[in-house]
Structure 1
Amino acid sequence: MKNIFVINGGQVFGHSGGLFNKTLSEFTLDFFKKELDFNLRYTDINRPYDPKQEVENYKWADVVIYHTPIWWFQVPHEFKKYIDVVFTEGHQTGIYKNDGRSSVDPAINYGTGGMLHGKQYMLTTSWNAPKEAFTMPGEFFNETSVDDGPLFGFHRMNAFTGMMPLESIHFHDVEKNADIQVDLKRYQAHLSKVFVGEEVGS
């Protein structure tokens, strides 16, 4: 039985109501509730949280699922604050012990001091940018993927803790051309493939 920790990083701010990522988070919870081999915990960064308990959630989890919009090519500031606060609380208490280096040879082994080895994480992101902005020659992201480009640092952050990535899924053009039913169908297929080992509709 796997333990799944779902984090909704969809901050409510300005013109953003956080609805898309709230919907994804709730869909995730419903998906796993229908399966018998999963335990669930959930945090919404818009609600008060106890950093110590959040560290315990990371330690408890076999898989962490992050849901976040991308604002100005980064995660929202309250989600970044959550990471800063919780990971600092987790220093030597379950998330990381140090940066991995030793005084004997401080030039090597940086990033190997994580304490979450054996755990995995999955990332979902939502964008105003269309997917073609990442894939077409001459477009904005120079044919660099979400994971290797704007979210490279986020993935290295999780590597620092010792966690390994599961396949990400990204939702594009959600401000001007969102189709939530199509997106949820694609997301359900992704969850089934990653966690149940089957293709929906096969």
Structure 2
Amino acid sequence: MEKIFVINGGQHFAHSGGKFNQTISNWDKDFFTETNGFELKYTDINQTYDLLEEVEKFVWADVIIYHTPVWWFGIPYKFKQYIDTVFTAGHRKGIYYSDGRKIENPDVNYGTGGSLYGKHYMLTTTWNAPETAFTLPNEFFNQTSVDDGVMFGFHRMNAFTGMEKLPGFHFHDLEKNATAERITNYEKAYKAHLTATFNSVIIK
């Protein structure tokens, strides 16, 4: 069975209750069932967690799926705390061993000391910004994609551990235009994305 670890980074704060990221996590629970050939573990960053148990989930999983809203062009502070503390606890315990460099030649091989080689990760993000803010000329993100722009550092973080990126999924316009129809269409599109990705020879 494929081992899947889902992390819900949808922090509860101010007007944000993290509801949509919980909804996405529920779609995961519908999809990653034993009947479909998966084992699933799950963490909600709003709940109490044990650092070494979280490290063990990374080591256990074949695929880690991150769900996060984007707040002020980064991940929420509790999710950042989760990453900082869990990854630090995972030093020489299964997430990474070193930065990869050797003292005799410290100019090369930075970022190659991860311990999660052979594993994959997937990122989903949720935005108030519409997709067109990233794609149209003269709009806010200067035609730079989510993955090559705001989330570039997040992807390099995972590369540092040795994990390889699977195609992600980005949910847009979820404040001013969070209609029932939009949510229904996103559910269909996301589950189709999971089907296409997890039927891929990349991870089978």
Match of 1:15 in 2: 15
- Partner Cα separation in structure 2 for residue 101 and residue 4 of structure 1: 31
Identity %: 62
**Counterpart mapping for 1:123-202 below 5 A:** 123-178=123-178, 179-197=182-200
User: How far 1:34 sits from its partner (Å)?
Assistant: 6.3
**Counterpart mapping for 1:15-164 below 5 A:** 15-33=15-33, 35-164=35-164
What whole-Å deviation, never above 9, does each CA across 1:127-172 have from its counterpart, x for those lacking one?
A: 0000001000101101000000000000000000000000010000
- Partner Cα separation in structure 2 for residue 163 and residue 43 of structure 1: 19
Match of 1:200 in 2: none
Match of 2:4 in 1: 4
User: How far 1:196 sits from its partner (Å)?
Assistant: 3.0
In structure 2, the CA distance between the partners of 1:142 and 1:152, relative to structure 1 (3 Å rule), is same
Where 1:53 maps in the other structure, the secondary structure is helix
- Partner Cα separation in structure 2 for residue 23 and residue 98 of structure 1: 36
Structure 2: segments with no counterpart, 5+ residues: none
- Partner Cα separation in structure 2 for residue 56 and residue 79 of structure 1: 18
Runs of 4+ in 1 over 4 A off after TM superposition: none
User: How far 1:35 sits from its partner (Å)?
Assistant: 3.9
User: How far 1:26 sits from its partner (Å)?
Assistant: 1.1
- Partner Cα separation in structure 2 for residue 8 and residue 29 of structure 1: 12
Structure 2 length as normaliser, TM-score?
0.95
Structure 1 length as normaliser, TM-score?
0.96
- Partner Cα separation in structure 1 for residue 139 and residue 48 of structure 2: 40
- Partner Cα separation in structure 2 for residue 157 and residue 29 of structure 1: 26
User: How far 1:2 sits from its partner (Å)?
Assistant: 0.8
- Partner Cα separation in structure 2 for residue 92 and residue 174 of structure 1: 39
**Counterpart amino acid of 1:125?**
T
User: How far 1:95 sits from its partner (Å)?
Assistant: 0.2
- Partner Cα separation in structure 1 for residue 103 and residue 174 of structure 2: 48
**Counterpart amino acid of 2:196?**
K
When structure 1 is superposed on structure 2, of 15-24 and 26-35 the one drifting more is 26-35
- Partner Cα separation in structure 2 for residue 48 and residue 30 of structure 1: 24
User: How far 1:182 sits from its partner (Å)?
Assistant: 1.1
In structure 2, the CA distance between the partners of 1:34 and 1:59, relative to structure 1 (3 Å rule), is closer
**Counterpart amino acid of 1:185?**
K
